[in-house]
Amino acid sequence: MKPFTAPVDDIMFTLEHVVGAPRLNSFDADLAGEIARHFAAFAEGVIAPIDAPGDREGAHLVDGRVQLPAGYAATFAAFAEQGWTGLTAPEEYGGQGQDAVIGAIVSEIETGASQAFNMLVNLTPGHIRTLLNFGTDDQKSRFIPPLASGRWLGTMCLTEPGAGSDLSRICTRAEPDGSVWKLMGEKIFISGGDQDISEGVFHLVLARTGAAEDGVKGLSLFACPSALEDGTRNAVKVTRIEEKMGLHAQPTCQLAFDGARAELVGEQGAGLKAMFTLMNHARIDVALQGVAQAARAHDIARTYACERIQGRGRTIDQHGDVARMLDEIDAAALGARAMAHLALVTMEAGDDPRLLDVLTPVVKAHCSEAGMRASETAMQVLGGYGYLEEYRLSQVYRDVRVAAIYEGTNGIHAMALAGRLLHLENGAGFDAFARFLDAQDRTPGLVRAQSAWKAARAFLETGIDPGPVATPFLRLTARTLEQAVWARMAAAADRHPAPHRIRRAAAFIARLPARAEADLAEIVGG
């Protein structure tokens, strides 16, 4: 199996020279590069070695508590000791005070080394951000330091058996009990719902404080630690661990709250607003999971193809169809990263929220599917060996597959784009996206893709039902954005350590605008 190698040069090239991260006051390219290289060494040497064994062993429920695979506790202890748990936490709460861009660099590298490990530790920055925005001063002082130090790891408790993406159907209730609240109900699909590598688990729970007919306006957000102040366990029980296709080392739990003591975070009835602070960043993190696995798939496939000899002493990377597949995987990974980083920098800059409204669902869906396609194509490069566990591509696919499902299925994001955002503020998000496209280098590929996108937007604005064409419209929007970011990357190719590689991938993308026109034909024809 090809050992994991973090794509630090690609990450820094995109941030510095493609998406404009230097315009952020908090971004220091030298510091970011230093942190990226330091964490890459840790991820390659400490996190990556536990990934494949952890996938084989899996997490287990023993006497009501979750046990993670061998090596996870020691790896997390080293991770916390080096301060990675508090990387983006404010210094006054024991963190290192770095920004979300630094956090995203670490998150992508972490996922490439082990998506299961990433899923265990990477909700912490979002929890801290939510507490900073909505918690009281007392809650910040009590809850943020143990999260920053790694004493606690967090969960996001939204989904219920009868309430998946429709949060208005949430039934878990919160009842006041003196100065605290008590939670009653069941949550499912809770990543890291319990584990044995941190001292405690910090649950952020969306629960109903209003009447059922209030819908999402009757939901509030609660902080529910796994242990009470006197050290006794709170009334939160793991009822099962789900048997999943992938992410075997990451326990996806069903949780029962049986009078669990909790504290209100933010205003009563405003829980969804607070939770979206966590969810919007999580969606970009999911996009980066797709990016990381696409890059990992390319690294495995390219290494194999450059060594595998077949036919007159040539390695198979010199065969036309294999070369095409390698270019496709590389271009997908590089382009998806640029799209995700663009959304991230736009979020952190805060100067174009309507553009961010469009970018977030597009990059979440596109990048997650890029990871899936890349792993499938890489399997094809390896032929029969790609189908074996030995080369890890099967695990790459099994792990990344869920990225198209969680944090809102890609179909839901397509409907948000083609339905809600089409009409929100008279299409202000689409207008912002059009302005962004107009400001890019007018490459032939971008001109053709943008023309198709404009025609599709006009067709949607005639008042047709967006449901049947929402997915091809999101796909068309993503293809148009992809052409835009590749126009930037091609122009900046000389800034990359391997400029010929960037130009080769850009040339591959330049041949694809006909796919955007095919999406338009599907939309109009449908």
Amino acid at the residue 327: D
134 backbone dihedrals φ, ψ, rounded to 5° = -125, -15
Q: What angle do CA 369, 374, 378 make, to 5 degrees?
A: 155
What is the token pair recorded at 217?
A: 């306006």
Among the listed residues 108, 348, 407, 482, the single catalytic one is 407
What is the rounded distance in angstroms from the CA atom of residue 268 to the CA atom of residue 443? 51
Angle CA 184–266–186, to nearest 5? 20
Structure tokens at 234: 């709170």
Q: Which amino acid is at 513?
A: P
How many C-beta atoms lie closer than 10 Å to residue 34's C-beta?
11
Q: Residue 437: what are its φ and ψ, rounded to 5°?
A: -65, -40
Contact 517, 452 (CB under 8 A): yes
Residue 463: CB atoms within 10 A of its CB come to 7
Using CA atoms of 410, 486, 303, 2 in order, give the dihedral in degrees to the nearest 10. -40
Cα–Cα distance, 335 to 505 (Å, whole number): 9
Give the C-alpha separation, 299 to 319, whole Å.
18
Q: From the centroid of its chain, how far is CA 173?
A: 29
Active site residue 92: no
CA 436 to chain centre: 23
Looking up tokens 């829980």 gives: 271
Cα-based distances in Å from 521 to 13, 296, 365, 480, 526? 35, 34, 21, 15, 8
- Residue entry with tokens 């809770």: 190
Q: What CA–CA distance (Å, rounded) separates 184 from 173?
A: 5
Q: How far from the centroid of its chain's Cα atoms is residue 493's Cα?
A: 26
Of 69, 78, 77, nearest to 50 by C-alpha is 69
Residues with a known catalytic role? 407
